[in-house]
Amino acid sequence: MKIIILRDNLKEGLNTIGRAITENANLPILKNILIKTHNNKIKLVATNLELAITHLISCKVIEDGGVTIPFSVLNNIVINSDSERINLESINNNLIYKTDNYEANIQGLSEDEYPIIPKIDNIETCIKIDATIFKNSLLKVINSAQVSEIHPEISGILFNFQTSNLKLVATDSFRLAEKTLFEKDYKSNLHKGFNVIIPLKIAQEVIRVVPDGELVICVDLNQVLFKTDGVELISRVIDGNYPNYEQIIPKEFETECLLSREQFLNAVKLVSNFTGKVNDIKIKTTEGGKSLEVFSNNSYLGENKYLIPAKIKGENFNISFNWRYLMDGLKNFDSEELIFAVNKERPAILKSGQDFSYFYILMPIKEG
């Protein structure tokens, strides 16, 4: 292999694939990346056997070939290099890195020793969607997911595809978020629905590294592929059945409050300064039913409260919530007004009166 490449392009490629690098005493080669010419470009590949990331980079290919070398060594050289034009050449499974004023010989291994990157056979059957729309949708649910060794089936994002819509769902058993994408948001030639659980790690990497443009999503029984022009992420899906979350979605509410999202968010931020170890704040209706009071106290710090004007319909209530979880939900909305609907000792819900494609459910904190 012999190529000439721009430093910024190589740096971007290394940054894209770097999060798939892992420490593995049994397989030290997983600290390496594969560098290989491909269709007059250079292909950078990293894998931890659960997730693989590939990035194609434009360059001048003088001679085809490939080699696998330690990621950290090459990455540190590129970060600290001050030359824009880089010559890379593989000789006897080593990589020669050369600029006008610097040269390094990095010991590597044959590309044949690098783990085989899995492939999805039928990439013609897929979902095509604008990457920005998809990433923004993921952002609305991802903070509700949490890795769980006890319940691995909730350690990711549920993709529930039903041809006419795609639902993204995440929960950590204390809160739950659902975002629905409709047919107008994507194109698909799939003729039947599917349910797969995407690991939290790959969802985070999709948000981080997928560039703007068209995103192609392909799924088979064991794997999911996210593919754009130049970047590919492929991962195993999580085994198991996602909880039947729809049964916990409240159908009726004892009280519904219409209020300003910004004021609610400000109230939670301010009042949270006086919360205790369980991050609890109390939310209750005031006398007259024209405002909500957000309150917290701490035996060492004091207490504070914030009044929010609201249109309230239903019974009075006084319920405690985890302020961090509540703020996570509030941040996910774009609308100026929100509906905050509650049932005593049962899940509350945040939703918009204008956008019905998203909601956020939050469990109250039980007193005593």
Secondary structure of residue 354 in the 3-state scheme: coil
Task: Indicate the number of domains in the chain.
Answer: 3
Q: Which two tokens stand for residue 189?
A: 């030639």
CA dihedral 249, 250, 255, 257 (to 10 degrees): 30
Whether 53 and 149 share a structural domain: no
- Count of CA atoms in the C-beta half-sphere (13 A) of 340: 31
Residues 104 and 37 occupy one common structural domain: yes
Q: Are residues 239 and 254 in the same domain?
A: no
Decide which of 113, 135, 150 is a domain's last residue. 113
Task: Note whether residue 310 is domain-resident.
Answer: yes
**The pLDDT value given to residue 69:** 97
Tell me the pLDDT tens digit for each residue of 337-364: 999 999 988 899 999 988 999 999 999 9
Residue at 100 is within a domain: yes
Identify the pLDDT of residue 123. Answer: 79
- Ranges of residues in the chain with a pLDDT under 50 are none
Q: For residue 22, what pLDDT is reported?
A: 86
Residue written as token pair 């469990």: 363
Q: Which string of DSSP letters, residue by residue, matches 225-264?
A: EEE-SSEEEEEEPPPSPPP-GGGGS-S--SEEEEEEHHHH
User: Is residue 122 included in any domain, yes or no?
Assistant: no
State the sign of the Cα–Cα–Cα–Cα dihedral 327, 331, 336, 337. negative
Q: Residue 311: beta bridge partners? A: 258
In a shared domain, residues 211 and 270: no
Q: Please report whether residue 118 resides in a domain.
A: no
Kindly state whether residues 322 and 217 are assigned to the same domain.
no
pLDDT of 275 reads 87
What CATH code is carried by the domain that includes residue 207?
3.10.150.10
Q: Are residues 274 and 210 in the same domain?
A: no
pLDDT at 276: 76
- Do 255 and 349 share a domain, yes or no? yes
**In which domain, by residue range, is 329 found?**
249-362
What does the pLDDT look like over 101-135, one tens digit per residue?
999 999 999 999 999 998 887 778 899 999 999 99
Domain boundary among 180, 210, 245: 245
Residue matched to tokens 């509700």:
144
**Per-position DSSP letters for 54-86, written without gaps between them:** EEEEE-EEEE--EEEEEHHHHHHHHHH---SEE
Residue 79 and residue 9 share a domain? yes
Query: Could you tell me if 98 and 153 lie in one domain?
Result: no
The single residue listed with the structure tokens 């948000």 is: 207
Instruction: Answer whether residue 121 is part of any domain.
Output: no
